[in-house]
Structure 1
Amino acid sequence: MKTPLPNPRAPERPTESGEPTHPPRNELRLPAPSCDPAAEPTGSSPLQGPRVEPGTYPSPEDVRHICAMKDLVVRNQAVTQSYSDLSNAVGQLLGTENANWSTFATWASKQAGVSIRGEDMPRFFTDVLKGLDGVTRPLSQVDDLLRKLGLPALPLADIGSAGNDAIQNVSLAISEGNKRVFEEVGQELSRFVATFQGDTQYDTAKVAQYLSEFPADKPVLEEAFGHYAQAMFETDPKKKAELMLLANNKVGLHEQRRLQPQIEQALNAPMKETFHGILRQTIEAQINALPFPANLAGKAALKSGVVDAALGPVVERMASAFRRLATEHMMKLAVPGSALKLGNDLPPPPGMESTLFPPHLRTIESPELRKLLAQFDKSPDSLEGSGAEDWSRLDQRMNYIIDLFRSRQSDPALFDPPFGQRVA
């Protein structure tokens, strides 16, 4: 049955600060999640498990409606708010002593619309390129060729323009990835809440039936939600924390695999074409501006491929530099209390400078969780080496995400609303 939603419309466009001008859907009337593990979940009773108030989280139909929005900014706002609503709904069933995947997704989605659009990036990109010998050497060879053709050196402003166009390509790819993951995982989160709310004990047959409805091409996602179902009824706090981390990591792995085409599109393929196109257009315009017959040598160089061959090494190095800068300068995750740079190692959470991880996750007992961590965590039980040098690589993303989930899983601030405070 569809979960009724009084107003599935997305929040209004953000202001310059990135905040909506009015409270997003349901935000004012959602109960604040409890951060006390001993607190009884909202809507629970001795005879019935926790229930979630209808209309406080999106139904699968609402998820589809949001994904159909054409305004990319408004859609991202709606996705972000919906992740927060789903985080709270899942939290009412599983508790809020452990963040669920949607809790983290709230902040990743909020960042998606802004982290890759920095207005200072083209100038910053140009300034960095000036100091990169790997770029300046082949660029000087291009300038030597241009001088022989009677042309001025390539203006650095055009390199900045190429960076700006590359950022626009990145923005479109990030927006598509934001929609794709929400369309898939958002519906499953909603279905989980609708299926298990009110339950008081683990029902093997019910869980099996629920999991059988997952598509065959989503085995990791199916496993993840099976772990969430186990965690809902687990009374041992350490086992529950490990089940939650296992589930969160598997949802994360599923979504990162799904996002690979968009991430590669954002940080790899378009860069070379964009940089080459703009630099070639600049040279072609300079050649055409020369009077006859001074322009003949330049036109011959264009036609023969000499110009393209000279631009090749420059474009290759520019694309590589842009990928690194995108990770180091633009790829950030703003979470309550801090802004994390994905290219840097994760800092320890406040108060955990020596222990790094929450009490129940400082050691890992679950064999399945240990196996998953061993597969992707290149520095076990440490945050050193967690930074991603190239965010386009799945292994580097998962290395960062696994440490992020483990170190921040018990942070109650992650349940804060993304667009301002709730009113009781």
Structure 2
Amino acid sequence: MKVAVHPDRRPSHEAEVIAFSYHRLALDLARHLGRDVNNWYCYAVWASKAVSENLDLSPGSCFLGDVAARLNVPVWLRRPFRRVFLALLGPSYPLALALANRAIFLEMGSLAAELWDADDDYLIRVDETGDFVRRPEFLSALLAPAEEEFLDAVVRLFTKARNATGPERAEFVLGANIALVAYEQQRAQRLLELVLNRPPRWLLQGSWRWLWCALRRRPFHRLAIYTAPHAELAWPARKAERWWVRFYTSRLMVMRTPVGRIQLGRPLPPPKGAAPETVWAPIQDLEVRELVDRFLPSDFDRATAGVGNWLSFDDRMRFIVAYFRMYANVPELFDPPFTSDKLDELEAEMDEGHVPEPYQEWLQKENARRAAAGRGVRGLIARQRYRSPFRSDPDAAALAGFDLTGCVHRRTLRPEAGPEALLCCGIDGELCGDAGGRCGRQA
């Protein structure tokens, strides 16, 4: 909880602390499951580190440098390119990406920390329903529902893996990894849509509406535009969004791992020494096989193809499950994600903060400070007239000051629920709506 709600921590640095926390959880879980097969938290380490790199938008950002290099931007144009790119991404990019990373960490971290506790297994769940005093009205549109039966499957399969050995243990860990990533990807779906759809929506809808609201001296509710369902937009807007997301996925989305870079829009490269016939060996356990078959096609080329649209849950899950199968026995994923000096610094920071304590987004004061420190006429105008987007946009201000501690509850896990619980809900990404989570349908 301290890590997830620490105040005044830069989003990129916060993701580094979360990556280090995942690393410790991966090692703790390996004491029960062994290190011959990677658990979900090994993959989460490098995913969170990639989020940290994407949240670093400073002039020396490796992320922006890589983007400019992949787009063949000349060196003399990179400074204006950075300004244009930041204007397209907007404040909602770091805010939404950081919120998704924190919320997922709070749920997944608490599950691992309390796994096989003396009391019942549980996780701290960020609730998308309920009436909270500090809660923004739009939050329910940002944290998507997910099939909670996946969580019960995680505990059940990890427990089986704890008591198994050899290939049988590897299968159970793989199944738990798939159930865990399916749950967290469903939860993060709407926040991913907010992050990736923001640029075309700002260009086509937000830019001129901002000027119109400024002339009329009325608040501009940006997030009402950015969180609108894709299907409700006009045809030109939908086409522009599809083009942008496909372009972003194929050209800009990259994750660094200890064994090389993975470009998410390109075919998944196998790790050194991996044999496809071994990686793609038939799965014996029925529950694990059903989980794999739900997301992964049997054809190797189709399964390892690059993602065309990262906002497609099915396409994203296909690539992630293929990544889990192919990199399951790569021991380098247990390596520390940072240098020893950096690890000591992050370990010292993990005990900082108080519970509960509101999370105040650093961008609000950072943007105002930079604008007011400008030289010449521009700095003078900024000091006299500048208003941070968090002051002019009520939704952005509420998101920046959102307190995760105000809307969490403890959810007890039920590993005794059988695998059939995973086959009755979630058809085409929809929940059945039954209060008990059972609808009797087969996926």
TM-score (norm 2): 0.57
Identity %: 23
Q: Give the alignment partner of residue 98 of structure 2, picking from 160, 175, 178.
A: 175
Question: Residue 108 of structure 2 contacts residue 123 of structure 2 at CA under 8 Å; is this kept in 1?
Answer: no
Deviation at 1:382? 5.1
Question: Residue 347 of structure 1 contacts residue 383 of structure 1 at CA under 8 Å; is this kept in 2?
Answer: no
Distance 2:323 2:154 in 1: 17
Look up the equivalent residue of 2:154 and give its one-letter code. Answer: A
The answer to whether 1:327 aligns with 2:266 is no
Deviation at 1:172? 2.4
Structure-to-structure mapping, 1:107-118, within 5 angstroms? 107-115=46-54, 118=63
Look up the equivalent residue of 1:107 and give its one-letter code. Answer: W
Match of 1:30 in 2: none
Q: Give the alignment partner of residue 223 of structure 1, picking from 137, 140, 153.
A: 153
Q: 1:125-166 CA deviation, whole Å, 9 max, x = no partner?
A: 9989xxxxxxxxxxxxxxxxxxxxxxxxxxxx9998664333
How many positions carry a matched residue from both structures? 287
Question: Residue 97 of structure 2 contacts residue 191 of structure 2 at CA under 8 Å; is this kept in 1?
Answer: yes
Distance 1:87 1:126 in 2: 36
Q: Give the alignment partner of residue 377 of structure 1, picking from 291, 296, 311.
A: 296
Alpha-carbon RMSD across the aligned residues, in angstroms, is 3.5
Distance 2:36 2:70 in 1: 42
Match of 1:187 in 2: 110
Greater relative CO, 1 or 2 (CA 8 Å, sep 6+):
2
Q: 1:19-75 CA deviation, whole Å, 9 max, x = no partner?
A: xxxxxxxxxxxxxxxxxxxxxxxxxxxxxxxxxxxxxxxxxxxxx011112322232
Match of 1:82 in 2: 21
Match of 2:33 in 1: 94
Distance 1:374 1:104, change over 3 A: same
The answer to whether 1:274 aligns with 2:202 is yes
Q: Name stretches of at least 5 consecutive residues in structure 2 with no aligned partner.
A: 58-62, 74-78, 126-145, 213-233, 344-443
Distance 1:226 1:395 in 2: 24
Q: Give the alignment partner of residue 321 of structure 2, picking from 399, 402, 407.
A: 402
Distance 1:373 1:315 in 2: 35
The answer to whether 1:166 aligns with 2:88 is yes
Secondary structure (helix, strand or coil) at the match of 2:115 reads helix
Distance 1:368 1:217 in 2: 16
Distance 1:254 1:282 in 2: 36
Structure-to-structure mapping, 1:26-65, within 5 angstroms? 64-65=1-2
Distance 1:380 1:241 in 2: 21
Distance 2:123 2:240 in 1: 46
Q: 1:338-379 CA deviation, whole Å, 9 max, x = no partner?
A: 01011111112211254361xxx6221111122112111134
Q: 1:63-117 CA deviation, whole Å, 9 max, x = no partner?
A: x011112322232111010000000000111100011111110000000122465
Distance 1:380 1:214 in 2: 38
Q: Name stretches of at least 5 consecutive residues in structure 1 with no aligned partner.
A: 1-63, 129-156, 196-208, 285-311
Distance 1:187 1:210 in 2: 13
Match of 2:401 in 1: none
The answer to whether 1:67 aligns with 2:12 is no
Match of 2:44 in 1: 105
TM-score (norm 1): 0.60
Distance 2:89 2:69 in 1: 12
Q: Give the alignment partner of residue 172 of structure 2, picking from 240, 243, 249.
A: 243
